[in-house]
A and B are shown apart, each in its own frame.
Chain A
């Protein structure tokens, strides 16, 4: 043994480094030790009160209280987030990113993923809002916006704008948000029924038509710039189809009809409506070009066909027809072919509205032997029906929000007919009209232009 390694052994010595080398190479190769299958969870968002940037003047405080309330309401109504109660928030006011101690927002009572905060100042010349959204876990800034408005009364619009940006950003673009959107509706004060427009939350209600007659069935064009509705002037005894720009000008579509109702713009700009003309057998669905030209009766059937609503591709129309006996929801191609009945229940259906994603139709339904309507949702592909409203009062005229996550309708649940909004899952019910009788809401397809920034 003292002779050292035997010659044959020496020849094999090279194997030692080779073994080490191979082992090292094997170690370097990546391998997976454990596989996990995470399940996605709801996004938790904190919305800290915005603070005065420099001085807490009375105007600034007023604007702040409006801004903070509107921003929180918008984000709650969006139904995208779990928003912990503000009573759990750290007391330290947050004015700018450097004020944020992220660990304070990760305590178990909050444990939020994102934090919205910022500051606001009303000066003699302008109102400036600096708004931030931070990822609490990674400390990354998601949004940093500076809004400048000349009129502090526009502060609601800034809150809506920021809320929609948060929704857009955190929903991966799935929703543009509805906070900036508007709802057109019919308001009866005295004998006249006029067309009004309000913000989706009921604020800024203003009158669009001033003819003193009966105005019904407002429906937005898909560019949000015009409304179609029908009018019966006090001096006349016939209904008139009318298109009015949001900023005022009115244009009548002349049709030789004893009755016209429920106009609906298609996404590609055509107009469908129900009319009883001398040549039609009862009320039929007509389709016309954007200016009322190229008018065509596409149902031309016995009985009453009314309440057309376009599919988002403009290729199909759902409508109400009583050709089978009672008013039911039917579907046809936009040229009038392929007519089929969608709802096979009995009772009375009314006012269908096709969802923005094309998969569902909202409608109201009065069950046989019942006195009231409720709102229902039918999945077109499967025919599966969901009831959205329950309880006292009647629920009618449902209309989708532009993001397809919310619904507006009229209800007598609080007494007189009023406008309500809610999430399509039935949560977040809110009454957004109060004075007089308000009905026939139509949610604008897209939010209007953003305020100056």
Chain B
């Protein structure tokens, strides 16, 4: 074997190749961890083959510039996709995550007691927080999350290639696209079922965003309120909706190799997706 190698590779050539290879790897890594954030987020190109709500053979192909894609069991979108993907969410919103962490046991804290009745002004308007209009792509948004990546994510550099039922090929440090599957829709329904209409009180409009992590066992952890609604009772109800959904069913096979971080956009009245 060594003889064979020697016969094909001169020592000098090998060294050079190794150095180039390492430098190239670093360059690619830097490109995906830093460089991507500088680029405008392009419209993803997805090819969904096969029919049947993610049951069939599905291949999604991401181009090099497409930092998403590559997930198994991709469900074809039902609604029209926007012509171009929206710009990445403002950085400010991300920073708000840390500032507005809510402990998972928020419900065990003392709830604000009902205030003694006072002759309320008949306009029981609550302070409403003006939230910027949400930017969202078509169905399951491939919202880019620039500057962040994950190994073993759904995307490979230069085009992650997922074939078939969730078998994911492609490692690398792409930031990963958003996954979609029957399981995700189930989680959406479950959390929605625990988000109670009555908790909205008399508010005409509500928006809050929370994130949580689902372990392979289905256990929900790390609930964080990313964007507050501006009304504490609504925030509590949003956290409760996630807590009350715990535990979720175990992650499906194709997602079980890791935990899944969900972003839940609590929006009322619901706008078209």
Chain A interface (Cβ < 8 Å from any Cβ of B): 1, 6, 8-9, 12, 15-16, 18-19, 22-23, 25-27, 29-43, 80-81, 113, 135, 137-138, 140, 142, 165, 168-176, 222-223, 267, 312-313, 356-358, 446-447
Contact = CB atoms under 8 A, between A and B. Distances in A.
Contacts of B25: 15, 19
Contacts of A137: 194, 240, 243-245
Interface stretch (B42-50, B57-65, B121-129, B160-168): B121-129
B140 interface: yes
B197 A135 contact: no
B264 A38 contact: yes
Interface of B: 2, 5-6, 11, 14-15, 18-19, 22-23, 25-26, 29, 33, 97, 107-108, 111, 114, 117, 119, 121-124, 140-141, 143, 145, 147-151, 154, 173, 175-176, 178-180, 184, 187-189, 191-202, 211, 231, 233-234, 237, 240-241, 243-245, 260-268, 270, 273
A171 B198 contact: yes
Contacts of B154: 33
B175 A31 contact: yes
A8 B19 CA distance: 8
Contacts of B266: 38, 40
A22 B77 CA distance: 34
Contacts of A37: 188, 264-265, 267, 270, 273
Contact of A36 (B149, B175, B191): B191
10 contacts: A1-B6, A26-B148, A33-B176, A34-B179, A81-B198, A135-B240, A137-B240, A168-B114, A170-B198, A446-B117
Contacts of B265: 35-38
A36 to B, nearest CB: 4
A32 B211 contact: yes
B2, B187, B263, B265: most-surrounded residue (chain A CB, <10 A): B263
B244 A135 contact: yes
A36 B262 contact: yes
Contacts of B19: 8-9, 12
A34 B252 CA distance: 14
A225 to B, nearest CB: 12
Contacts of A358: 122-123
B185 to A, nearest CB: 8
A43 B263 contact: no
B201 A173 contact: yes
A362 to B, nearest CB: 14
In the A-B complex, the 8 residue pairs with the closest CB atoms: A312-B122, A137-B244, A38-B192, A174-B201, A172-B201, A36-B188, A172-B233, A26-B149
B180 A34 contact: yes
A12 B25 CA distance: 12
A356 B239 CA distance: 31
Contacts of A312: 121-123
Contact of B150 (A27, A40, A173, A222): A27
A31 B150 contact: yes
A76 B211 CA distance: 35
A18 B199 CA distance: 50
A27 B151 contact: yes
Nearest to B114: A168
A165 B116 CA distance: 12
A228 to B, nearest CB: 18
A32 B178 contact: yes
B123 A113 contact: no
Contacts of A32: 143, 145, 178, 211, 261-263
A143 B264 CA distance: 28
A174 to B, nearest CB: 4
Contact of B33 (A16, A26, A39, A174): A26
Nearest to A7: B15
